[in-house]
Structure 1
Amino acid sequence: MKKINGYIDTVFTKQDALLEGVIASIEENGMPAISVSPSSGKLLTMLVAISGAKNVLEIGALGGYSGICLARGFGSEGKLMSLELEERYATLASRNLAKAGFGDQVSYRTGPALQSLEQLVDKGQRFDFFFIDADKENYENYLAACLRLANAGALIVTDNVLAGGSVVDPEANPKRYTEIMKTFNETVANHPRLESLLIPIGDGLTISKVKK
């Protein structure tokens, strides 16, 4: 899996000084090195652009790497709302999004994401693209909340669904969320409101379209 991802990143992504700066800032601030892979980030950009999404919700900001990738997809016309548990992560992400030229198009809500999601539901907010990349234990809860917030035809993209390959490879080191990801993948694959597929780049992305 690492060799395949290395090949894809090498052939299909180019050196990106801005995103490399984000990775460096994450390291400098002692934050975990768990941003999406370059190819996963490029796919996020392409999916937002292809879908024409202008109102994007991200669950899990970290240092802003995926946020920049999402914002690049909607250019100057879209809006990104990012939910992040840690205040200092959101602060760094906001700084990096501003450096990327999207400072006026992104907003952050800090604290437990499920609380923020309930508040958005109560306000009648709607989004046409979602990216879930946060605590794996709540993925099914996040999915349920996103469906309540989704416009018809919206895309829901979820990261880390291969759990380092351990969902399929018994010799891969199991992660604490391996079984959670197996269950989640079955859920999205068979959900009556979703049309889904798992794309095996990075640590795996499920792409789900909300049926109209």
Structure 2
Amino acid sequence: MGGGWQAVDDYIAGKLLCADDALAATLANNDAQGLPPIDVSATQGKMLFLLAQIAGARRILEVGTLGGYSTIWLARALPAGGELVTLELEPHHAAVARENLVRAGVADRVDIRVGPAAESLAAITDDAPFDFVFIDADKQGNAHYVAEAIRLGRPGTVIVVDNVVREGGVLETDSDDERIVGTRALFDMLSADPRLDATAVQTVGAKKWDGFVLARVR
């Protein structure tokens, strides 16, 4: 079945996404520089691009840069004068991302901040409010990152959190996997916080069985 999921993703990409040298070069550079192959898929990247445009986002916050693949998709969604702030823990990942952003021609609208995401978020004041937030970092921190996204957002801010199904692992109440524990804490937080309207969608494809949260600040 997994091979079928990949084939369908390839079919969709072939029909609806154009060949993109900058994005292909980004993935190749990430691999050459030893970054883990955990970027969003091409179809997911296009979804982020469209969601940010639908939201009319002029200011975007990303938690988890990696090599900048999703960052490029989001930066391309910005209108003239828009800005994206992206947070990355690892200095090496951030350096690779900077190379990729320059090659893609979007470095002028992206501000990469290096360090633990919780600290970087706490330091953000004047840059807010953000119109769109994409969270794809350590899953243990997801609930906190969403709370910070609310603080740094406004009514109408859109929040997307990736990797929230984990091949069904989210159902494992007794799991000792910190990523699953963190994901379940995220759902507990979302269900209890009156400041958000939220849902989650399961996905299958190049990234196997997973899903994402889509939320809007009230």
Trace 1:13-92 onto structure 2 (pairs within 5 A). Answer: 13=13, 14=17, 15-92=19-96
2-side partners of 1:124 and 1:74: how far apart?
A: 16
- Per-residue deviation, residues 30-83 of structure 1 (Å, max 9, x unmatched): 111110122211110010111110100111100000101111222444211111
Unaligned runs of 5+ in 2: none
Root-mean-square deviation over aligned CA pairs: 2.3
CA apart distance, 1:141: 1.0
> 1:210 and 2:217 equivalent?
yes
SS in 1 for 2:93: helix
Choose from 184, 196, 201 the match for 2:198. Answer: 196
Structure 2 partner of 1:115 = 119
Choose from 134, 144, 147 the match for 1:131. Answer: 134
SS in 1 for 2:216: strand
Is the contact made by 1:155 and 1:207 (CA closer than 8 Å) also made in structure 2?
A: yes
Is the contact made by 1:189 and 1:195 (CA closer than 8 Å) also made in structure 2?
A: no
> 1:187 and 2:194 equivalent?
no
SS in 2 for 1:130: strand
Is the contact made by 1:46 and 1:73 (CA closer than 8 Å) also made in structure 2?
A: yes
2-side partners of 1:198 and 1:134: how far apart?
A: 17
Structure 1 partner of 2:104 = 100
Q: In structure 2, what residue type is equivalent to 1:40?
A: Q
Return closer, same or farther for 1:175/1:154 CA change in 2, 3 Å cut-off: same
Structure 2 partner of 1:148 = 151
TM-score with structure 2 setting the length: 0.86
Is the contact made by 1:164 and 1:175 (CA closer than 8 Å) also made in structure 2?
A: no
CA apart distance, 1:125: 2.4
Return closer, same or farther for 1:27/1:174 CA change in 2, 3 Å cut-off: farther
Residues matched between the structures, number: 208
1-side partners of 2:82 and 2:201: how far apart?
A: 25
CA apart distance, 1:10: 2.1
CA apart distance, 1:174: 8.9
TM-score with structure 1 setting the length: 0.88
Is the contact made by 1:109 and 1:116 (CA closer than 8 Å) also made in structure 2?
A: yes
Unaligned runs of 5+ in 1: none
1-side partners of 2:8 and 2:131: how far apart?
A: 28
SS in 2 for 1:127: coil
- Which has the higher relative contact order, 1 or 2, with Cα contacts under 8 A spaced 6 or more apart? 2
CA apart distance, 1:11: 3.1
SS in 1 for 2:155: strand
